[in-house]
Amino acid sequence: MDIFARGKKYLIDVYKRFPLDVDRGEGIYLFDKQGKKYLDFLAGIAVNALGYQHPAVNEAILKQLHRNLHLSNYFLQDIQIALAERLVTISGLSKVFFTNSGTEAIEGLLKLVKKWGNRNQKNEIIAFSGSFHGRSLGALSITMQEKYQKSFEPLLSNIKTVPCNDVQAFESAINDRTLAVFYEGIMGEGGVRPISEELLTAVYRGRERFGYLIITDEIQTGVGRTGTFYYYQKSGFMPDGVATAKGLGGGLPLGAFIVNEELGTILEKGEHGTTYGGNPLACASGLATVEIVSQPEFLRHVTEVGRYLKERLAALSEQYPSIIREIRGEGLMLGMEVNQKAPELMFEACAQGLLFNIAGGNVLRFVPPLIIDKPAADEAAEKLRRAFVNIFGEA
Ligand SMILES: Cc1ncc(COP(=O)(O)O)c(C=O)c1O
């Protein structure tokens, strides 16, 4: 039996997978077992910020491997504290709790804000339609997409959905009972859709009036992906809490929530915890990644190469104006909305040696390793063009 037949036999079948039997990764490329090379603009779903086999990440992992693989949070762990210190400095917030995933970061924040709300007589949480915050029952309760929620209701109560970018609807939804607003600066799974400046301003203005908490989900936008370490740093607004994951572990499972001073003292001993969260191997890999990504010249590189890739995608959209609706996003989190055949384009691009996935039903999403250069952007644009030609004909 080949790997596809064995996968079908032994794994619960919830993923749409590429028809690829991957052997290894190197830099920004994956290689299958026949030795075919793929330019990887999926990057483990926006995880592999420094690509595959980055020497600094590998070295940090090997060094930690020879100290200890796992200790548990019964111990203070130097590597975990070093990473927490970096995240506090970078974010401008005060305290960190480490998790294994993005979903768990959201889940922990939900508990924390609920406890804060119980103290402050507030109980309504606001989330935006099209958002994605994870698939555990708490995180799913604020993931406002019917296709994810419909089989699992009832979910948490007291959640209000506001249509994204509808400032008027947002302003009529908030009141004295509003406990927290959860938002993604750019909705990733929802189709690379940035929240508007007007809505963002309304969210922060509303906090001054009603005193609710603002939690931003930087799981996909964070760790340099949009050209600043966190996306909220572009706006100058300061959230009360941030969820971070994906790129944070440099390829190992690591998430965190980072909160302000007040929220950092809400939970008492025993009220929250995790066996693996902040595992030293993941923190070592994460620290090596964060040290590199947080350098200003690295972030400038992400902005520049992202702008270049966006221009290349825009040039393609001029060739196929009746198919490509819009190019969106910032830095190296870009989306191309098409009005037809998104899955066919994804599989044809894969055959051409370019990997990316689809978000929001009809958006080709590009989240490459942050180390790509302009020639790699050219290579991606050319492979994508060939996929368009093979599906729609020469422009
Ligand atoms: C914005 C956002 N929030 C939360 C999650 C869930 O993170 P994880 O899959 O690490 O649990 C994701 C994952 O795609 C995400 O993009």
The reply to whether 56-293 shares the fold of 3-54+296-392 is no
Q: Which fold has domain 3-54+296-392?
A: Aspartate Aminotransferase, domain 1 (3.90.1150)
The predicted-structure confidence for 100-131, as pLDDT tens digits, reads as follows: 999 999 999 999 999 999 999 999 999 999 99
Are 88 and 234 in contact, with CB atoms under 8 Å apart? no
Does ligand 1 lie within 6 Å of residue 193's CB atom? no
User: Residue type for 172, please?
Assistant: S
Q: Which atom of ligand 1 is nearest to the CA of 221?
A: 1
Six-digit token pair at 1? 């039996």
Q: How far is CA 351 from CA 39, 59, 86, 247, 313, in A?
A: 11, 33, 41, 27, 19
Strands 363-366 and 241-244: unpaired
Are 126 and 160 in contact, with CB atoms under 8 Å apart? yes
- The residues spanned by each domain of the chain are 3-54+296-392, 56-293
Q: Which atom of ligand 1 is nearest to the CA of 103?
A: 11
Distance 2 CA to ligand 1 centre (A): 31
Does ligand 1 lie within 6 Å of residue 244's CB atom? no
Name the closest-CA residue to atom 7, ligand 1: 102
Query: For residue 395, what pLDDT is reported?
Result: 87
The answer to whether domain 56-293 has CATH 3.60.21.10 is no
Q: What is the mean pLDDT of each run of 10 residues along the chain (395 residues)?
A: 95 95 98 98 98 98 97 97 98 98 98 97 98 98 96 97 97 98 98 98 98 98 98 96 98 98 97 98 98 98 98 98 98 98 98 98 98 98 98 94
Are 358 and 343 in contact, with CB atoms under 8 Å apart? yes
Distance 1 CA to ligand 1 centre (A): 33
Query: For residue 118, what pLDDT is reported?
Result: 97
Encode 85-96: b = buried (16+ Cβ within 10 Å), e = exposed.
ebbeebbebebb
Distance 304 CA to ligand 1 centre (A): 26
Query: For residue 31, what pLDDT is reported?
Result: 98
The predicted-structure confidence for 13-43, as pLDDT tens digits, reads as follows: 999 999 999 999 999 999 999 999 999 999 9
Does ligand 1 lie within 6 Å of residue 360's CB atom? no
Does ligand 1 lie within 6 Å of residue 132's CB atom? yes
